[in-house]
A and B are shown apart, each in its own frame.
Chain A
Amino acid sequence: MSSADLAPKPEGILDTELDAESLRHRLAETWKTQSGLFGVLSSVDHKVIARRYLITALVFLCLGGLSAVAMRVQLSGPERGLIGPDLYNQLFTMHGVTMMFLFAVPIVQAVGLYLVPLMVGTRNTAFPRLSAFSYWIYLSGGVFVWVSFFLNMGPDIGWFAYVPLSGPEFAPGKRADVWAQMITYTEVSSLAVAVATIVTILKQRAPGMSLDRIPLFVWAMLVTSFVVVFAMPSVMIASSFLILDRLVGTHIFNPAEGGDALIFQHLFWFFGHPEVYIIFLPATGMVSAMVPAFAGRPIFGYLALVLSLIAVGILSFGLWVHHMFATGLPKLGASFFTASSMLIAIPNGVQIFCWLATLWSGGPLRLKTPLLFVFGFFFIFVAGGLTGVMLASVPLDLQVHDTYFVVAHFHYVLIGGSVFPLLGATYYWFPKLTGRMMSERLGRWHFWLAFIGFNAAFFPMHIVGLWGMPRRVYTYPVELGWGGINLFITAGALVFFFSFVLFVINLVWSSRHGETASENPWNAGTLEWATSSPPASYNFARIPVVTHSEPLWAERKALPVAAGLRVDAREVLISTVAEAKPDLREKSARPSIWPLFAALSVGGTFLGSIFTPWAVVWGAPPIAISLIGWFWPKGAPEDEE
C-alpha cells in the first residue's frame, strides 16, 4: 500500500480534529486497562504485562538466590551434613532452571516488552494478546515447577537433564517430567514474546526510524528474538522426546534399542549455547543505551555494533559442541568448534572497544549508579569472556570441563555480562517505569557490595576448579584441602546475596518515596524519554517522527509528530520495514480475558500430560474454545473484508 491510502477515512474521530487536552483524554479512555479483577486479568497493555513479568522474574530471582545460598552453606566446609544429596541435587537443578528459564530469559524479554514499543514510538506491541498469553503461561510454568519442588517432586537431574540419567530407567517418579514440561511452558512463552517483539520492531516503528536510526537496544532485542525463534524449538524437541521416552515408551534416547544418548546433548546445546546469547545480547543493548546517555555523545561505531550483534546472533549457533568436548567426538570436528568459539570473541571485542571509545571521547562522565554497574560489567564480563577463550580450547577444556572453573566462568559471563547491565538498567529506567528516581545512596551501597561479593564468591572458584573440584557435588572430602577456599566463597556469596536485599529495599522504598523524576532525567536521546514518566496507557499522544538516531538530541525544541490516527478506537501506525515510511493504520487488539483462559487450558494440558498422554486429547477442546473466543471477529471493517 502507498501512503495515499492513509488519506482520511470518514469513520471515527481522528487526532487531527482534537486539541492537546481532549486528545489525551480521548486516548486515555480508549487505551486504558479496565479496573476491577476482570479488567486486570484481561489487560493487554505491554507496560502492564511487562511490569508483571519483571516483578515475577524478581520473585524467581529471590528463590533462585536462596537455593544458591543453601548450596553454599552446605559446601562451606568438607563433609557437611546440612543438606543431603537428594535435596542438594534438587537445589542445584532448581537454581539453574530458575535462573535460566524463570529469571534471565523472561526478564530480558520483559525489559524488551516494556521498552521496545516506547523506543520505536508506537502505542502497543504487535500482538498484545499473545504477550498477555505468554505471561500467564510463564507464570503457570514457574509456579508449577516451584510447587513441585515444595512437594518434594523438584527435578534433580541438573538444568541440562542429560539422558539416560533423566530417562525412564534412572529417574523414576515425576521429577524429570516436571523438568521436561517446565521447559515446554517457558519456551512457549518466550517464543510468543519473541514473535511479538520481531513484528513490533519490523512493522511498527515511528515514521522516519529507518534501519540506521533504530536504537541499539531495539536492535539487540530484534537479534535476540530471532535467536529465540531458532534456538528454542531445539530444546523443546529434546524435552518432548524425553517425555515420550518416559511416558509413552519410545526409545529415542535408549542405546539398547538403537536410540542415541548423545543426540540429546546435541539438541540441548544447540539451544543451550544460543541461550547464553539470548541472555547476553539484550544486556549489551542496555549498555549501548546507557553509555551514550552518560557520556553525552552518540555511540561510537553504531554500524559496527549492529553488525556485531547480528554476527554474534548467527555465530552463537555454531559453537554448541564446545559443551561436549569431553564426550569423545572426532578430534578434527572438535577443533572446528575451537575455532568458531574463538571467532565469536571478535564481535564481542568490537562491542567492548566501541563502548570504551564512546566513554573515552564523550563529555565529563556522570558516575551515577547505572554507570557504576556498566563499569562493573566491563570488569567482570571481560574476565569471563577471557576464561571463555580458555574453555574454547579442546585440550584445555578437558581439564576444566565440569569443574568449578566452568562454574566461575559462566557466572562471570552471565552475572557480569547480563545481571550487572540489568541492574544498571533498573536504576536507569526505573524513573520511566514509576516516575520516581531510585535512591542513589542505597544504589552505591548496592553496587559495591554486589561487586565485592560477586568477585569474592566467584573468583576463587576458578582456582578450586583447577585444583580438581568437580561441579554438582554435594560434598567433598577433607583430605583434598578445599575447605578453606570454599568457606571464603560462601562468605562472598552471602555478601552478594545481601547486596540484593539492599536492591529490593531500594526498589520498594524508591517506588513510594523516591525523588520525582522528570520525563528525561538522564538527558538521554532515545524516544522512550519523550513520554511522561510513567508513560500514559497510549504511550504517545501523537506519534513522533524520527529524524536522527538520537531524536531527542537532534530535535531539542519539540519532536515533530505524525497525525491521522483514530482516537476512539485502538489504532497503531504500520510502517515499512527498511525505511519506516508510514504504510497503513492497523487495529490494535482490545483487552480480552481469552488469553488467560487459553493459557490455563494449555498449562493444564502440559501439567496433565505428565500423568497421562490422554491429557493432550482432553486438553484440546478447552484450548480450541479459548482460541475461538480469542479470535472471534469483532465486526471491525477489516474483519469483514
Chain B
Amino acid sequence: MRPPTGRIAGAVLLAFILSGCSGVQSALDPKGPAAVELARLIWFFTVLCAIVWVLVMGTIAAILLRRRQRRSDPLRIDQPEERMVSRVVISAVGATAFVLVALTLLSFFANRTLAGIGENAGLTIRVTGHQWWWEVRYENAEPSRILTTANEIHIPAGEAVRFVLQSDDVIHSFWVPALHGKLDLIPGMVNTLTLRADKPGIYRGQCAEFCGAQHAHMATLVIAEPRAEFDAWYAEQLKPAAEPSSDEQRAGHDAFLNGPCVMCHRIQGTPAGAVTGPDLTHIGGRQTLAAGTLKMTRGNLAAWIADPQGIKPGSKMPVMDLDGDELNAIVAYLESLK
C-alpha cells in the first residue's frame, strides 16, 4: 500500500527540509522575533501532528495485518475483547483531549508573546491598501517630516515598528512572512501590527486577501537597514524631486506635467499633486515597479508605461497615447527621480 506514496512523500519532505534556507517570502525562514516564534510554533505542531498521524496509521497497519477467525454470527461479540478495546478507545480519547488542551495553551501563550513585541515601537507607518498597490505613509508629529511613498517600506533594523493598516477600497491583507503573520486591511476599520526585523535585509510580502483582478501582483518589499542608513534614506525621501538635468529629462518633465500622468500621480516639488496613484517623487530609487510586478530597469519602466494593461491586466493604470520620443523622455525623467 505504501511504497509509491512513501517515496513521493519522502522526496517532498526532503525538499521541505532543504527549503529552510531559501526564499525571501517563507514563513519557515524567519527574520524577526514574531516570525521566529511562529516558525517555532509551526514546527512544534507539525511534529506533534505527524506523531499522532503515524500512530493512527500504525493502528491501521496492525488492523490490516491482524489474523482473525471467521465469524459465523456477525452479532456475536467477544465480551472480554470488547472490554479491552473499550479501554484502549477511552484512553485514546483521553490522550486526544490532553494533547488538545496542551496545544490550546501553547497557542494562547504564543499569542501573548507576539502581543509583547510591540510595546515600545518608535516608528509608526500607515499602510493603506489600494487595488493593487500599497500606499506607505510615515507618521510624524511634525507635519513637514511626514513622508508618503509606495510599495517599498524602509524600516530601521532591530527596532519595533508599528504598522497602522487600513484600506481605501476592498479588503487586503498585509503579510511579510519572514517578519510576522498577516493582518487584514479592512475599509472602515484600522488594524495595527507591530513587527521587528532583527537584521538588515530585504523581505518580500504579498497581499494575502483576494482583492480582485490583480491580487497576484500586489507585492511589497520591507527593507530593513541600520539606523544610520535608514535616517539618511528618510532625509533623502523628504526632499522634493530632483530637477531634470538633461534635455531629455526636461522634455520628460514637461511631457509628464502636460500629459495625463498628473491626473493620478504626485511628484513633490512639481505641480503634479494627485493622490489616486502611487507617489512618484523618488520612484527611480525603488527596486520594483507596479507593486513588485517588474524589476526597476529603464526597459521595464518603458514597457510598463507603454503597456500597463498587457503587463498587469485590469490594473488602474490606463494605456496612454504617447509617441516614442515622449515615452523615452518620460522614462528618462522618472528614472532620474532617485
- Do B188 and A360 have beta carbons less than 8 Å apart? no
Q: What is the 8 Å Cβ interface bit string for chain A, positions 442-475, against chain B (1 contact, 0 not)?
A: 0000000001100110011001001110111111
Closest Cβ of chain A: how far from B98's Cβ, in Å?
11
- In the bound complex, residues from chain B placing their C-beta under 8 Å from that of A352 are 56
- Bound-state CA distance A451–B100 (Å) is 29
B278 within 8 A of A: no
Minimum distance in angstroms from A96 CB to a CB of chain B: 11
Max chain A C-beta neighbours (<10 A), residue from B53, B62, B69: B53
* Given contact pairs A356-B60, A359-B63, A400-B27, A395 touches B9 in the complex (Cβ within 8 A): no
The yes or no answer to B74 lying at the interface (CB within 8 A) is yes
**A184 at the B interface (CB under 8 A):** no
Query: In the complex, which of the residues A300, A472, A480, A525 contacts B74, with contact meaning CB atoms closer than 8 Å?
Result: A525
Interchain nearest-CB distance for A251 vs B (Å): 11
Which residues 292-335 of B have a CB within 8 angstroms of A?
292, 313-314
A342 near B104 (CB under 8 angstroms)? yes
Given contacts A345-B100, A396-B41, A470-B206, contact A360 B62 (CB under 8 A): yes
- Per-residue B-contact encoding for A394-408, CB less than 8 Å = 1, 0 else: 111111111100000
- Residue of A162, A328, A349, A455 near B189 (CB, 8 A) is A328
Report the separation of the CA atoms of residues A346 and B81 in the bound assembly, to the nearest whole angstrom: 24
**Closest Cβ–Cβ distance, residue A529 to chain B (whole Å):** 13
Decide if B77 touches A364 in the complex (CB within 8 Å).
no
Give the contacting residue for A480; candidates B25, B70, B82; CB below 8 A. B25
B49 and A386 contacting across the interface, CB-CB below 8 Å = yes
Please, what's the 1-or-0 string for A579-617, where 1 marks a CB less than 8 Å from any CB in chain B?
A: 000000000000000000000000000000000000000
Contact between B23 and A480 (Cβ–Cβ < 8 Å)? Answer: yes
Residue of B whose beta carbon sits closest to that of A382:
B56
> B207–A470 contact, CB under 8 A?
yes
Distance of B72 from chain A, by nearest CB (Å): 9
**Which residues of B lie under 8 Å from residue A255 when comparing CB positions?**
187-189
Instruction: Point out the residues of chain B lying under 8 angstroms from A379, CB to CB.
Output: 57, 60
B57, B181, B184, B210: which has the most chain A beta carbons within 10 Å?
B210
Given contacts A262-B189, A361-B82, A378-B56, contact A335 B27 (CB under 8 A): no
User: Which of B73, B103, B169 is close to A393, meaning CB atoms less than 8 Å apart?
Assistant: B103
Digit string of B7-22 for contact with A (CB within 8 Å is 1, else 0)?
0110010011001001
Interface residues of A in 371-400 (CB under 8 A from B): 375, 378-379, 382-383, 386-387, 389-390, 392-400
The complex places the Cα of A386 from the Cα of B66 at a distance, in Å, of 26
Nearest residue (CB) in B for A344 is B100
- Whether A349 and B213, one on each chain, are in contact in the complex, defined by CB atoms closer than 8 angstroms, is no
- B313 smallest CB distance to A (angstroms): 5
Measured CB to CB, the nearest residue on chain B to A550 is B75
Q: Does A343 contact B (CB under 8 A)?
A: yes
A387 cross-chain contacts in B, Cβ below 8 A: 49
Which of B84-92, B141-149, B224-232, B252-260 is found at the contact surface with chain A?
B84-92
**Which of A164, A326, A353 has a CB less than 8 Å from the CB of B92?**
A353
Q: Mark A246-260, 1 if CB is under 8 A from B, else 0.
A: 000000000110011
Residue of B nearest to A400 (CB): B27
Is B140 at the interface (CB under 8 A from chain A)? no
Q: Which of A2-10, A82-90, A190-198, A309-317 contacts B (4 or more CB under 8 A)?
A: A82-90
Asked if residues A466 and B89 are in contact (CB atoms below 8 Å), the reply is no
- Once bound together, how far apart are the Cα atoms of A465 and B135, in whole Å? 26
A318 CA / B71 CA spacing, docked (Å): 43
Taking a contact as CB atoms under 8 Å apart, the answer to whether B111 and A346 are in contact is no
By beta carbon, the residue of chain B nearest A345 is B100
Chain A residue at smallest Cβ distance from B8: A456
Q: State in angstroms the CA–CA spacing of A382 and B89 once bound together.
A: 16
Indicate whether A150 reaches chain B with its CB closer than 8 angstroms: no
Contacts of A451 in B (CB 8 A): 5
Q: Interface digits, A119-155 against B, CB 8 Å rule (1 contact, 0 not)?
A: 0000000000000000000000000000000000000
Interface residues of A, dominant DSSP = helix
Given A393-B41, A398-B182, A451-B5, verify A86-B313 contact (CB < 8 Å): yes
Contact A298 B77 (CB under 8 A): yes
A508 contacts across to B, CB distance below 8 A: none
A382 neighbours in B (Cβ, 8 Å): 52-53, 56-57
- B39-63 with Cβ < 8 A to chain A: 39, 41-42, 45-46, 49-50, 52-53, 56-57, 59-60, 62-63
The answer to whether B100 and A85 touch across the interface, beta carbons within 8 angstroms, is no
Contact A378 B60 (CB under 8 A): yes
Taking the complex as formed, is B186 at the interface, i.e. its CB lies under 8 A from any CB of chain A? yes
In the bound complex, CA of A627 to CA of B103 (Å) = 54
B308 to chain A, nearest CB (A): 13
B85, A300: Cβ atoms closer than 8 Å: yes
Is the CB of A554 closer than 8 A to any CB of chain B? yes
B153 within 8 A of A: no
Q: How far is the CB of B162 from chain A (nearest CB, A)?
A: 14
Partner of B63, one of A335, A356, A398, A452: A356
Q: Within 8 Å of chain A (Cβ to Cβ): is B240?
A: no
Q: Residues of A contacting B204 with CB < 8 Å? A: 468, 480
CB of B160 within 8 Å of the partner chain: no
Whether the Cβ atoms of B12 and A460 lie closer than 8 Å is: yes
Q: Is A363 an interface residue (CB 8 A)?
A: yes
Closest to B212 in A: A165
Tell me whether B85 and A395 are in contact (CB under 8 A): no
Which of B89, B93, B111 contacts A300, CB < 8 Å? B89
Question: Which of chain B's residues have a CB closer than 8 A to the CB of A241?
Answer: none
In the bound complex, how far is the Cα of B181 from the Cα of A295, in angstroms? 46
A331 contacts the other chain (Cβ, under 8 Å)?
yes
Asked if A553 CB lies within 8 Å of chain B CBs, one says yes
Q: Check: A350 CB closer than 8 A to any chain B CB.
A: yes
Contact between chains at B45 and A389 (CB < 8 Å): yes
Contact, CB under 8 Å: B69 / A363? yes
The answer to whether A394 touches B74 (Cβ under 8 A) is no
| Residue in A165, A353, A403 whose beta carbon sits within 8 Å of that of B211 in the complex | A165
Check B107 for interface membership: any CB of A closer than 8 A: yes
A261-B187, A331-B115, A363-B71 known; A395-B38 Cβ under 8 A: yes
Taking A353-B93, A393-B45 as contacts, is the C-beta distance between A401 and B208 under 8 angstroms? yes
Given known contacts A164-B169, A474-B216, A363 and B74 CB-to-CB distance under 8 angstroms = yes
Query: Which residues of chain B from 153 to 196 have any CB-CB distance to chain A below 8 Å in the complex?
Result: 165, 169-171, 173, 175, 177, 180-184, 186-189, 191
Measured CB to CB, the closest approach of chain B to A51, in angstroms, equals: 30
Known: A362-B68, A396-B107, A401-B182. A85 touches B313 (CB 8 A): yes
Q: Quick check: is B119 within 8 A (CB to CB) of the other chain?
A: no
A395 x B74 contact (CB < 8 A): no
The verdict on A389 contacting B206 (CB below 8 Å), with A256-B188, A331-B115 known, is no
B276 within 8 A of A: no
Is there contact, CB below 8 Å, between B77 and A339?
Answer: no
A463 touching B16 in the complex, CB below 8 Å, given contacts A395-B114, A396-B38: yes
Contacts A297-B74, A399-B27 hold; do A360 and B314 have CB atoms under 8 A apart? no
Contact across chains for B69 and A361 when beta carbons are under 8 A apart: no
A396-B189 in contact (CB<8A) = no
B42 and A361 contacting across the interface, CB-CB below 8 Å: no
Q: List 15 A-B contacts (CB under 8 A).
A: A164-B170, A261-B188, A300-B89, A327-B186, A390-B49, A392-B107, A393-B106, A399-B27, A456-B8, A459-B12, A468-B25, A468-B27, A474-B216, A480-B23, A481-B22
> Given A170-B212, A297-B75, A328-B165, 16 more contacts at CB 8 Å?
A89-B213, A165-B210, A256-B188, A260-B188, A296-B74, A297-B74, A298-B77, A339-B104, A361-B78, A363-B69, A375-B1, A398-B182, A402-B208, A467-B19, A468-B206, A525-B74
7 smallest CB-CB distances across A and B, nearest first, come from A398-B181, A255-B188, A468-B25, A473-B216, A328-B191, A393-B107, A386-B49
| Residue positions of A touching B, CB distance < 8 A | 84-86, 89, 157-158, 162, 164-165, 169-170, 255-256, 259-262, 292, 296-298, 300-301, 326-328, 331, 334-335, 338-339, 342-343, 345-346, 349-350, 352-354, 356-357, 359-365, 375, 378-379, 382-383, 386-387, 389-390, 392-403, 451-452, 455-456, 459-460, 463, 466-468, 470-477, 480-481, 485, 488, 523, 525, 548, 550, 553-554
